Structures are given as C-alpha cells and as structure tokens.
C-alpha cells in the first residue's frame, strides 16, 4: 500500500521521528505531506556559515539532519513532502541510485507545478531542485530536494514554496547557492491555497509511486487551524475558569468543518451492550477506601469510566498523577479543566504506598496534561515509577502519558525511568483530531510512540470510537500505528459525559469491533482490545501479556 497523509502543521522533530519509524519498521510505502513551523535544516555536508543570523532572533530553530544538501528553510506556506518508499532497482543507495531517485522526485514536483499553471519550470544543470525559467539568465529556485537513500528505502524529500514568508530565505544562503534567487508560486503570480496544491500533487504521486488500483489510501487532518482552538495553557497563556456553556458552540462548529453531521439524541436509550453492570463489592469498597485514605486521584473516577466496578472489584485501578485538573479541554473528556495546582511532591510515594497495600502485580499510572509545566509533568512520572520500583520491585508498570508537547528531553525523562509499557493515545482518526483534541496533534502522537519504541519499550495506543469516524478511517489509523511498531491498541465506544461535550455520532456494534480487532491483527499489531466498554487500561495486564511481556498470571476471585 501507498499511504498518503496530510498532517497539517508539524514540528520538524516530530516529522523526523515519524519518518525514521516508518523507514525502519514499515513494509508499506508512505507519503507524508505537511507544513513546518519556522526551521532551518542543515544536511550532513552543510556549511554552518550559510546560516547568516541567530535563528532564534527570527523565530526559527536550526536542526542538523541525516540528508544530503546544505542549509534550507521550512515554514508555513511551504508544502513539505516526505516519501518513505521502497525504491525499485536500488542496489544499495549509491550515487547512481540516488541521482535516479532524485530525478523522479523532481519530476513529480515539475508535473505538479505545471498542472497548477506555472510555465517554464524544470531542472538546472548541476543544481538539484526545481527551478523557474531554468534556461534564462535569471533562474529562480521554487522547490528544494534533499533525500536519503539506504537499504532500498527513502527518507526526506521535497519542499515546494507555495506562499511562505520569503524574507526567511534572506537569513541563509539557500542550499549553499549564493548567486541564485528563490521564488514561490505566489511570487510567480500563481494564487493557490495549500489544499489545491496537495490535491494536485497526490494523484501524480499515486501514478508515480502507487501499485495499481486499490493499493493506496489517503487520510487528512482537518485543514482549518486556528490559535483559539488551543486551550489557553497550550498557547502559553493563563487560563480562566472553564466556560462550559461555550464549549458545545465551539464543538458544533468544529464538527461541521470536519463533516460530522449525525448525532445520537441525548434522549435515546443506549444499546444493551453499552450498559455496564453496577455491582459494588468488598474489593471495590476496599480499593475506594485506600484511594480516599491516601488522597489519590484515579482516572476511573475523574473520567467516569464505565468499567470502574469490574476493575476495582478485581483490585485494578489507574492512578492519575500531576493532580486532577487538566490544562487542555478535549471534546470527549470529563476531567476538570480549571487552573491546576502545583504537583504534589508526596504524590509518587502515596501511589507507591497504594500499589504495595493492594499487592498489585500490574499498576497503571496516567496523568492530566500539564502544559503549564516546563517538562509537561514528566518528572512526576519518573518519580512515581521509581517509588513503585522501590516499594514493590516485581510490579509491572504501565504509564499512559500525555505528549509533553513533543519535547524530546521530557519524553526521555519518562522513557529512561523504565516503565514496562508506554501508552499514549491517538484517541481518534486524523480528520477528527481538531474536533476531539485541538491542543494535541496526530503527527506528534505518532512521533511520541515512535520515540518510545526506539527506547525499547512495549508501546500501546487507544481509540475512542463513535465521534464521526468511518470504518475506513479507523483501518487507516490502525495501519499507521502498526507501521511505527505499536504493540497494543485499545478501541472502545465513546460515551458522552455531558451535553457540553461531543455528541455520540453512532454506536459501534460488538461484531464491528470484533472485525476491527481482526483487521488490526492482520496489519501486524500484537494485540487489539476492542469492545464497546473497552478503555485504555481495561484488561491492560492481558494485553501486555499478549504483546509478549512477562507478567504475573491473572488473578481470579
């Protein structure tokens, strides 16, 4: 399959982590299309003196990358494409193979620009990339090409200047070429938006790199992005008290833009399979008493999990650290979004105390998002893991983490603490990311999971279904998770917490979820836990064992 993804605005470091994972672990071909925030990238033979200013002074970062070429610029208004392909006929990535592949990438860009109405576009001898008026006395570069070819697979790719801030090129010697101009479609009088460029390029890419009818698919994150979609803390601002009355208004607008028009009435009775049994037991009451005594928070209670009686009766709970207030406002989640208190330094020891008192062989620790903290709450995770290891060394530890804004150092803090399972949820399909969790990013979540896999951890992710996704979109998301090496995926039906949250678009029947699990296994996922009431931590111990972890046998009674 050729899997085409429009990922929207994506940090360079996240796109690179995702590329590396697809390059190393996937047998499918992929074409990632996106825009970057302002960044200057340096190829392996780049001359740093070609960066003429301090990048921070112009709102950019500089990154050294494993591709050819010198320094180039990426930023908003520029379409970046990363083909991760198995390249036919490549003997090992030598110069001849690389030149032939680069020629093909250039031709894709040339064909795209020609189709968009740009005349006199082609190659300039001795200079890679795509040029306007290459045979004139004033050739102008409109697209940069920089690739890596190794073991018959490709990474990196092309960058087409659609309508970027051309002043950003004045701060570098673009591609190390000091005597040639850089241009854009907008500067050449071609007024097109990014979506038109992508929609023009994709069929040409499928024709060039596809494998026949039915052998490719495409998934896009929603095209419209607005800063006000983000929670205030995600914007680096102080947050007012939650305004629930406004939430449903904003969500209705986002749903319409995502093409979701259907909704289950609040008055409609849930299907029989969605009714969890309320059966308090001595085990439930004992665990609840322990939580209250130690002043601990569980996501089971805060998120209104329907499995709370089953799990607590079995002596299993998901501890929620970093407090009980989240700095994001996801459209499906019940957790409190008011201003959080500082992390409690005693919290890790209290969690470890509860694990020891309950004799847990398998402990799950999750968190609220803490965009107000420099490390996103990563230090509290590391401290909690260490405390559990001291108190009960044999306990298997699963952590369900936020994305820590994609910060590699913060994520490494968690990875280096050595959890047995690293869980991070993508939550929904690309098209519904802005609707469900506007302060997060599909590409960033895939990058978090990719980095965790690189760190040698068993990885896990989850989907909440019934918010307007199609079956085909879920299959594509499962394929993405399998492609980066995720081991376990959970999938369960969304339940609307309040009228101010996202509506339920439809109910997934149990047999549909059975089919979904089968598709996931066919794609290469070690275990898919899919049922109407499945949540991220439901049957976590069983899922971990299915993924190959050595865990204590499941208790009975």
Residue 278 has pLDDT above 70, yes or no: no
Residue 553 has pLDDT above 80, yes or no: no
Residue 68 has pLDDT above 80, yes or no: no
Residue 60 has pLDDT above 90, yes or no: yes
**Annotated domain spans of the chain:** 2-220, 254-265+275-546
- Domain 2-220, second-level architecture: 2-Layer Sandwich (3.30)
16 assigned to a ligand binding site: no
pLDDT band at 364 (very low <50, low <70, confident <90, very high): very high
Q: Are 460 and 486 in contact (CB under 8 A)?
A: yes
Question: Distances in Å between the alpha carbon of 321 and those of 203, 531, 545?
Answer: 47, 27, 25
At 483, list the tokens.
């492609």
Ordered DSSP codes for 178-230: TTSEE--TTTTT----HHHHHHHHHHHHHHHH--STTSEEEEE--S---GGGS
Closest CA to 472 of 507, 525, 526, 516: 516
What integer pLDDT is reported at residue 288 of this predicted model?
Answer: 66
What integer pLDDT is reported at residue 498 of this predicted model?
Answer: 83
144 assigned to a ligand binding site: yes
Residue 243 has pLDDT above 50, yes or no: no
Under CATH, domain 254-265+275-546 is a member of which superfamily? Answer: Aldolase class I (3.20.20.70)
72 assigned to a ligand binding site: yes
Q: How far apart are CA 184 and CA 188, in angstroms?
A: 6
303 assigned to a ligand binding site: no
- How much is the mean pLDDT over the chain? 88
End-to-end CA distance of the chain, in Å?
A: 47
pLDDT band at 99 (very low <50, low <70, confident <90, very high): confident
pLDDT tens-place string over residues 172-200: 999 888 899 999 999 999 999 999 999 99
What integer pLDDT is reported at residue 244 of this predicted model?
Answer: 44
pLDDT tens-place string over residues 368-378: 999 999 999 99
What integer pLDDT is reported at residue 284 of this predicted model?
Answer: 60
Q: How far apart are CA 212 and CA 366, in angstroms?
A: 44
145 assigned to a ligand binding site: yes
pLDDT tens-place string over residues 197-219: 999 999 999 999 998 888 999 99
- Residue owning tokens 């008055």: 267
At 384, list the tokens.
């909690």
At 276, list the tokens.
């969890």
536 assigned to a ligand binding site: no
pLDDT band at 270 (very low <50, low <70, confident <90, very high): confident
Least confident of 26-35, 285-294, 423-432, 479-488: 285-294
Torsion of CA 121, 125, 129, 135, to 10 degrees: -20
What integer pLDDT is reported at residue 557 of this predicted model?
Answer: 41
pLDDT band at 554 (very low <50, low <70, confident <90, very high): low
Q: How far apart are CA 434 and CA 224, in angstroms?
A: 9
Ordered DSSP codes for 222-284: -S---GGGS-GGGGTS--PSP-HHHHHHHHHHHHHHTT------TTSPPPGGG-------HHH
At 418, list the tokens.
């050595």
Question: Could you tell me what percent of the chain has a pLDDT over 90?
Answer: 61
What integer pLDDT is reported at residue 318 of this predicted model?
Answer: 79
Closest CA to 205 of 128, 124, 111: 111
Q: Are 340 and 325 in contact (CB under 8 A)?
A: yes
What integer pLDDT is reported at residue 120 of this predicted model?
Answer: 95
Residues assigned a catalytic role? 175
Higher pLDDT, 96 or 531: 531
Q: Are 421 and 399 in contact (CB under 8 A)?
A: yes
């Amino acid at each position: 399959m050729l899997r085409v993804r429009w990922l929207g605005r994506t940090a360079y470091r996240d796109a690179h982590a995702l590329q590396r994972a697809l390059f190393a672990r996937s047998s499918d071909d992929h074409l990632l299309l996106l825009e970057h925030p302002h960044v200057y990238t340096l190829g392996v033979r780049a001359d740093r003196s070609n960066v003429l200013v301090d990048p921070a002074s112009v709102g950019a970062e500089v990154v050294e990358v494993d591709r050819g070429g010198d320094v180039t610029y990426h930023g908003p208004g520029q379409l970046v494409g990363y083909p991760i392909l198995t390249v036919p006929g490549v003997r090992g990535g030598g110069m001849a193979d690389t030149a032939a592949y680069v020629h093909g990438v250039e031709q894709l860009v040339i064909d795209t620009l020609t189709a968009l109405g740009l005349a006199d576009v082609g190659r300039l001898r001795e200079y890679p990339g795509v040029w306007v008026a290459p045979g004139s006395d004033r050739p102008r570069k409109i697209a940069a090409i920089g690739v890596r070819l190794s073991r018959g697979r490709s990474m990196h790719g092309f960058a087409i200047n659609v309508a970027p801030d051309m002043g950003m090129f004045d701060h570098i010697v673009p591609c190390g070429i000091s005597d040639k101009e850089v241009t854009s479609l907008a500067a050449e009088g071609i007024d097109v938006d990014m979506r038109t460029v992508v929609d023009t390029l994709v069929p040409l890419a499928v024709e060039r790199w596809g494998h026949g009818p039915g052998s490719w698919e495409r998934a896009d994150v929603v095209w419209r992005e607005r800063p006000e979609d983000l929670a205030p803390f995600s914007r680096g601002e102080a947050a007012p008290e939650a305004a629930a009355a406004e939430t449903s208004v904003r969500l209705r607008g986002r749903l319409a833009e995502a093409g979701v028009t259907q909704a289950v009435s609040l008055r409609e009775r849930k299907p029989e399979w969605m009714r969890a049994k309320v059966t308090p037991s001595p085990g439930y009451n004992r665990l609840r008493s322990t939580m209250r005594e130690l002043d601990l928070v569980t996501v089971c209670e805060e998120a209104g999990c329907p499995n709370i009686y089953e799990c607590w009766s079995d002596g299993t709970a998901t501890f929620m650290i970093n407090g009980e207030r989240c700095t994001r406002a996801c459209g499906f989640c019940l957790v409190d979004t008011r201003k959080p208190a500082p992390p409690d330094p005693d919290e890790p020891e209290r969690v470890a105390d509860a694990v020891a008192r309950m004799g847990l062989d398998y402990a799950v620790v999750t968190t609220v998002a803490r965009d107000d903290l420099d490390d996103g709450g990563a230090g509290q995770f590391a401290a909690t893991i260490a405390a559990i290891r001291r108190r009960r060394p044999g306990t298997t530890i699963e952590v369900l983490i936020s994305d820590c804004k994609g910060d590699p150092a913060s994520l490494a803090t968690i990875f280096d603490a050595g959890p047995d399972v690293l869980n991070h949820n993508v939550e929904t399909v690309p098209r519904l990311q802005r609707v469900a969790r506007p302060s997060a990013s599909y590409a960033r979540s895939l990058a978090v999971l990719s980095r965790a896999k690189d760190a040698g951890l068993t990885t896990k992710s989850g989907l909440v279904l019934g918010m307007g996704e199609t079956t085909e979109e879920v299959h594509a998301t499962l394929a993405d998770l399998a492609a980066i090496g995720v081991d376990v995926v959970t999938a369960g039906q969304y339940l609307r917490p309040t009228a101010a949250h996202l509506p339920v678009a439809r109910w997934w029947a149990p047999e549909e979820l059975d089919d979904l699990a089968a598709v996931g296994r066919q794609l290469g996922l070690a275990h898919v836990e899919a049922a109407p009431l499945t949540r991220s931590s439901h049957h976590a111990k069983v899922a971990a064992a299915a993924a190959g972890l050595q865990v204590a046998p499941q208790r009975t009674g």
